[in-house]
């Protein structure tokens, strides 16, 4: 009882001192649990929002309900929120506004429209879907005849499945900007753009991003109003391949930070990605996230290897080496379920299952929560993009040079939930 009173006191202090981080309806806290208690209680199978493991403790973002469940089970936890407040975004900002140099949804739309205007013929902004709150989901197509329906290999780079991961918006956006601004200056860029379609979707989750900017910085999901009064679906658990495979890689509880939704592609944000991906000859996909400096490839839902594991591992290893060559930043790489934790219904598993396309989740810096977690310093945006640039160029070139038909001869199992939703001949049986 004394421990619970102390935790309640700590929570009250956090709310009083940091109202911008914790709004009145109190979404949750960063808490840590002893690794031994975490394992003994089987919490790894509960679909919790895991942040990291360090010095014998496991860190999670816990909702009020999850904290109550921990207390009811007499699992001691420590509120850690005050340790991980934003850095580099306080006070005045070179970028202006409460999100500083990071882009809001309106700012991204404005920037994309400007690129389209300034690079006629090379850039085309397309509305690929609409969020729950009626915000547009935009894709930037970059090609030598961007307004035409070309029969060229395509590569997809996406950001912001998870609202709080602001840096994941910047890297794909800056990649598109780089390609357009260097088309006339760099022959390799020109050759790549002339021979392919590069598609950039900087913000898959616009509602969540706006909520993270204006209300609660740690918000992760979209803004679905769930039937139990909670909000949000983790849209990176809402794709069709192995959706709902188990309750460790996602959760069926609406209040969970990894809630998978009511069915595969139940959310308009994932449906928008599905429509875009199925309409083009995508030969590679990257979904940017943060944090941990890792390059992850399928499978996420199981520790069993994917049929193309050797190729995925080789490509990821090359990308890791190219990133390190810029300024020494080390990105580990490997199968998602082994290197990080299991997930089901995620983006990379789905795109790989559909087309055999090399598909990667790149977790951007920092390496852990002690180095900033989701709160990257604004001054680091350019450096993070620059070190990822050679890897993105390499993957795009690799995808163009390696047609997919040879991969489609390798069977990739597709679960019936995905097949029933997608209903396309592109599914690899």
Residues 308 and 352 grouped into a single domain:
yes
| pLDDT the model gives residue 215 | 87
In sequence order, what E strands does 132-272 have? 136-142, 154-158, 197-201
Residues 40 and 135 grouped into a single domain:
no
Q: How confident is the model at residue 26 (pLDDT cuts 50, 70, 90)?
A: low
Contact 248, 42 (CB under 8 A): no
Residues 60 and 150 grouped into a single domain:
no
Give me the CATH number covering residue 147.
Answer: 3.40.630.10
| Residue at 149 is within a domain | yes
| pLDDT the model gives residue 373 | 63
Return the higher-pLDDT residue of 151 and 26: 151
| Residue at 428 is within a domain | no
Q: How far is CA 132 from CA 28, 233, 238, 361, in A?
A: 23, 11, 14, 24
| pLDDT the model gives residue 226 | 96
Boundary residue ending a domain (84, 116, 141): 84
Return the higher-pLDDT residue of 223 and 149: 223
Active-site choice (363, 378, 387, 414) = 363
Model's pTM, two decimal places?
Answer: 0.80
Residues 375 and 328 grouped into a single domain:
yes
For 361, the 3-state DSSP assignment is strand
Residues 79 and 145 grouped into a single domain:
no
Say yes or no to pLDDT of 280 above 80: yes
User: 10 Å Cβ neighbour count for 411?
Assistant: 10
| pLDDT the model gives residue 250 | 95
Boundary residue ending a domain (18, 51, 84): 84
Residues 34 and 162 grouped into a single domain:
no
Tens digit of pLDDT for each residue in 370-403?
Answer: 555 677 778 889 999 999 999 999 999 999 998 8
DSSP H or E segment with residue 322: helix 309-327
Which of 165, 192, 228 lies closest to 384 in space, CA to CA? Answer: 165
Cα–Cα distance for residue pair 13/407, rounded to 1 Å: 56
| Residue at 94 is within a domain | no
| Residue at 92 is within a domain | no
Contact 164, 216 (CB under 8 A): no
Say yes or no to pLDDT of 424 above 70: no
Tokens standing for residue 172: 């794909």
DSSP lists the bridge partners of residue 197 as: 154
| Residue at 97 is within a domain | no
Mean pLDDT computed over 258-282: 96
Cα–chain center distance at 215: 20
Say yes or no to pLDDT of 51 above 80: no
Q: How confident is the model at residue 149 (pLDDT cuts 50, 70, 90)?
A: confident
Residues 300 and 415 grouped into a single domain:
yes
| pLDDT the model gives residue 97 | 55
| pLDDT the model gives residue 69 | 81
Residues 121 and 60 grouped into a single domain:
no
Please list, residue by residue across 35-58, b when 16 or more beta carbons sit within 10 angstroms of its beta carbon and e when fewer do.
eebbeeeebeebbbbbbbeeeebb
414 noted as active-site residue:
no
Contact 203, 254 (CB under 8 A): no
Residues 62 and 211 grouped into a single domain:
no
Angle between helices 105-118 and 206-214 (to 10 degrees): 120
Residues 130 and 260 grouped into a single domain:
yes
Kindly give, in sequence order, each residue whose CB lies less than 8 Å from that of residue 427, ignoring residues fewer than 6 positions away: 353, 354, 414, 418, 419
| Residue at 96 is within a domain | no
Cα–Cα distance for residue pair 245/242, rounded to 1 Å: 5
Kindly give, in sequence order, each residue whose CB lies less than 8 Å from that of residue 411, ignoring residues fewer than 6 positions away: 307, 428, 429
- The boundaries of the domain holding residue 76 are 2-84
| Residue at 15 is within a domain | yes
Which of 364, 359, 237, 238 lies closest to 297 in space, CA to CA? Answer: 359
Tens digit of pLDDT for each residue in 60-115?
Answer: 778 777 888 888 888 888 887 766 655 444 333 333 457 888 999 999 999 999 99
Which of 93, 46, 54 lies closest to 70 in space, CA to CA? Answer: 46
Residues 183 and 326 grouped into a single domain:
yes
Say yes or no to pLDDT of 244 above 50: yes
| Least trusted range by pLDDT, from 16-20, 244-248, 265-269 | 16-20
Residues 344 and 207 grouped into a single domain:
yes
| Residue at 429 is within a domain | no
What DSSP string describes 106-154? HHHHHHHHHHHHHSTTTEEEEEEEE-TTS-EEEEEEESTTTTS-----E
Q: Which value, in Å, is the radius of gyration of the alpha carbons in the chain? A: 21
User: 10 Å Cβ neighbour count for 340?
Assistant: 18
Question: Counting beta carbons within 10 angstroms of the beta carbon of residue 19, is it exposed (0 to 12), middle (13 to 18) or buried (19 or more)?
Answer: exposed
Tally of domains within the chain: 2
Question: Counting beta carbons within 10 angstroms of the beta carbon of residue 290, is it exposed (0 to 12), middle (13 to 18) or buried (19 or more)?
Answer: buried
Cis peptide before 291 (omega within 30 of 0): yes
| pLDDT the model gives residue 413 | 41
Boundary residue ending a domain (50, 84, 118): 84
Tens digit of pLDDT for each residue in 163-187?
Answer: 999 999 999 999 999 999 999 999 9
How many H-runs (helices) and E-runs (strands) does the chain carry?
14, 12
């Amino acid at each position: 009882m004394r421990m619970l009173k102390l935790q309640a006191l700590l929570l009250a202090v956090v709310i009083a001192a940091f109202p911008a981080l914790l709004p009145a309806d109190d979404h949750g806290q960063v808490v840590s649990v002893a690794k031994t208690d975490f394992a003994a209680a089987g919490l790894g199978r509960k679909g919790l929002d895991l942040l990291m493991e360090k010095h014998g403790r496991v860190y999670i973002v816990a909702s009020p309900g999850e904290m109550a469940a921990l207390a009811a089970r007499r699992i001691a936890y420590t509120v850690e929120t005050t340790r991980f407040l934003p850095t580099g975004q306080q006070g005045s900002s070179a970028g202006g506004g409460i999100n500083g140099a990071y882009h809001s949804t309106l700012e991204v739309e404005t920037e994309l429209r400007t690129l389209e205007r300034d690079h006629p013929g090379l850039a085309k902004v397309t509305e690929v879907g609409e969020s729950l709150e009626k915000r547009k989901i935009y894709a930037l197509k970059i090609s030598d005849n961007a307004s035409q329906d070309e029969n060229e290999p395509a590569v997809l780079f996406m950001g912001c499945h998870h609202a709080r991961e602001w840096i994941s918006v910047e890297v794909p956006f800056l990649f598109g900007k780089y390609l357009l601004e260097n088309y006339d200056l760099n022959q390799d860029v020109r050759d790549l753009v002339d021979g392919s379609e590069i598609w950039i979707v900087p913000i898959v989750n616009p509602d969540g991003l706006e909520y993270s900017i204006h209300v609660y910085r740690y918000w992760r999901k979209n803004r679905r109003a769930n039937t139990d009064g909670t909000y949000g679906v983790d849209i990176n658990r809402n794709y069709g391949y192995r959706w709902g495979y188990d309750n460790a890689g996602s959760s069926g509880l609406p209040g969970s930070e990894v809630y998978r939704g009511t069915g595969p592609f139940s959310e308009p944000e994932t449906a928008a990605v599905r429509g875009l991906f199925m309409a083009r000859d995508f030969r590679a996909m990257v979904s940017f996230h943060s944090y941990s400096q890792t390059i992850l490839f399928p499978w996420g839902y199981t520790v069993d290897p994917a049929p193309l594991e050797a190729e995925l591992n080789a490509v990821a290893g090359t990308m890791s080496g190219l990133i390190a060559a810029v300024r020494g930043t080390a990105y580990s790489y490997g199968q998602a379920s082994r290197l990080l934790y299991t997930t089901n219904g995620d983006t990379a598993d789905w795109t790989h299952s559909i087309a055999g396309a090399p598909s990667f989740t790149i977790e951007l810096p920092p390496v852990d929560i002690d180095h900033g977690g989701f709160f990257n310093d604004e001054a680091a945006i350019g450096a993070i993009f620059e070190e990822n640039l050679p890897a993105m160029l390499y993957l795009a070139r690799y995808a163009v040079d390696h047609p997919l038909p040879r991969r489609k001869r390798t069977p990739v199992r597709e679960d019936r939930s995905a097949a029933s939703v997608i209903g396309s001949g592109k599914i690899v049986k």
